Amino acid sequence: MLGLQDRTQAVIPISHVEVDAATEELVLSVLRSGRLAQGPVVEQFEACCREMTGARHAVAVNNGTTALELALEALGVGPGDEVVTTPFTFAATLNAIIHSGATATFADVTDDFTIDPAGVEAALTDRTRALMPVHLYGLPADMDALTPWARRRGLRIVEDAAQAHGAMIGSRPVGTEDVATFSFYATKNISTGEGGVITTDDDEVADQLRILRNQGMRARYEYVVPGRNARMLDVIAALAIGQFARRTVMQTTRCTHAEFLGEALAGIGGLVLPAEPPGRASAWHQYTVRVTSDARVDRDTLAAELMKAGVATGVYYPRAVYDYDCYRSHPRVRISDCPRAERFATEVLSLPVHPALSQSDLERIAAAVRRVLA
């Protein structure tokens, strides 16, 4: 937070990591303990993840992509299987499916940027084993529609909640539909630089995950499957403990910032603001607007003008995830028409919404957008 408010001429960043004094102390104490690898602090981290989600189990791993890969592996998803996912996501979602040996298929998104429950049926074949929705920008996908559908079809669910720490579906936090994964990468709502966790209520899946992350060992040198080394470090887990303690405050601040932007940016022609559908509360990982063809300038011009005004923005993501040669030509990527995702990729722009913004930062962001578009 240091100096963000004072440096009025500095660029307002799109994300900001704050390491407080208590965190420095905790990291130092882990360093001094000489026990750097997975141990008691990772257990503490997992307890925080259980508390955040209400899940029975949380299994910490080295990053969010590994979390997705192990989730699929623990569910037995592999060659010959298909996984339905969204075309509007980070490459990690798709890479995890491909590396499992399964084939990725897609259902388009709705205008809330998450997978369309009305579109998943068309992506289904008799090989479909799992549904992988993404809670993009922190907004939960419509799980009240998707979960009953998946159960009826006998599909497992892997929620990609990398961006959605503490997001809510009705009165329950995301992370317990079936198996869910979170990322603690440097830009996420809670960050350890690199880090991930899988949450689930399923005892067998959790048991499998703990074995898989540790070379397939149930006990020392008792190998039961060919596993991997996907463990988190104690010294890394220590970075998150203080953030979990401040989580509710940080989350409320993100919501307040989103509310401010919603009011300050209302009524600008061609600017579509993000909304939370009834019963779904966003973690506001990003505040993502759409700049449509009705706007005074296009998305990329707005982004360039905002940068000149000292406001950093982000484009997540500039293309549908399958729209790259390496995926278009991949034998295990089955592309279907996703016109909404492809259009949104040309229209989306994320504005800073993180908890380190000051009131004057927020006013500068809103004024700069108005100056260009209104």
Ligand X SMILES: *Cc1c(COP(=O)(O)O)cnc(C)c1O
Binding ligand X by CB under 6 A: which of 75, 162, 212, 353? 162
> 33 CB contacts (<8 Å, ≥6 apart)?
none
Per the CB < 8 A criterion, the answer to whether 45 and 51 are in contact is: no
**Residue 180 found at the interface with ligand X (CB under 6 A):** no
Quote the CA–CA distance of 213 and 76 in Å, as a whole number.
Answer: 15
Binding ligand X by CB under 6 A: which of 81, 82, 160, 276? 160
Nearer to ligand X, 57 or 285 (CB): 285
Per the CB < 8 A criterion, the answer to whether 57 and 200 are in contact is: yes
Quote the CA–CA distance of 140 and 303 in Å, as a whole number.
Answer: 26
Q: Shortest gap between Cβ of 183 and ligand X (angstroms)?
A: 3
Per the CB < 8 A criterion, the answer to whether 107 and 132 are in contact is: no
Quote the CA–CA distance of 103 and 81 in Å, as a whole number.
Answer: 6
Nearer to ligand X, 96 or 373 (CB): 96
CA dihedral 47, 52, 55, 61 (to 10 degrees): -60
Q: Which stretch binds ligand X (CB under 6 A): 46-54, 59-67, 122-130, 322-330?
A: 59-67
**Residue 89 found at the interface with ligand X (CB under 6 A):** yes
Q: Which residue is nearest to ligand X (CB)?
A: 64
Q: Shortest gap between Cβ of 226 and ligand X (angstroms)?
A: 22
Nearer to ligand X, 181 or 295 (CB): 181
Task: Look at residue 126 and give its three-state secondary structure.
Answer: coil
**Residue 191 found at the interface with ligand X (CB under 6 A):** no
Per the CB < 8 A criterion, the answer to whether 156 and 201 are in contact is: no
**Residue 92 found at the interface with ligand X (CB under 6 A):** yes
Nearer to ligand X, 97 or 271 (CB): 97
Q: Which stretch binds ligand X (CB under 6 A): 23-31, 41-49, 88-96, 274-282?
A: 88-96
Q: Shortest gap between Cβ of 185 and ligand X (angstroms)?
A: 4
Nearer to ligand X, 181 or 364 (CB): 181
**Residue 65 found at the interface with ligand X (CB under 6 A):** yes
Quote the CA–CA distance of 116 and 276 in Å, as a whole number.
Answer: 15
**Residue 317 found at the interface with ligand X (CB under 6 A):** no
**Residue 189 found at the interface with ligand X (CB under 6 A):** no
Q: At what angle do helices 21-33 and 234-245 cross, to 10 degrees?
A: 150
- Tokens 């298929």 belong to residue: 105
Nearer to ligand X, 89 or 313 (CB): 89
**Residue 104 found at the interface with ligand X (CB under 6 A):** no
Quote the CA–CA distance of 311 and 309 in Å, as a whole number.
Answer: 6
Binding ligand X by CB under 6 A: which of 15, 30, 61, 90? 90
**Residue 108 found at the interface with ligand X (CB under 6 A):** no
- Number of residues near ligand X (by CB under 6 A): 14
Preceding peptide of 327 cis, ω within 30°: no
Per the CB < 8 A criterion, the answer to whether 146 and 133 are in contact is: yes
Nearer to ligand X, 90 or 287 (CB): 90
Quote the CA–CA distance of 84 and 67 in Å, as a whole number.
Answer: 18
- State the residues that interact with ligand X by CB under 6 A: 63-65, 89-90, 92-93, 134, 160, 162-163, 183, 185, 196
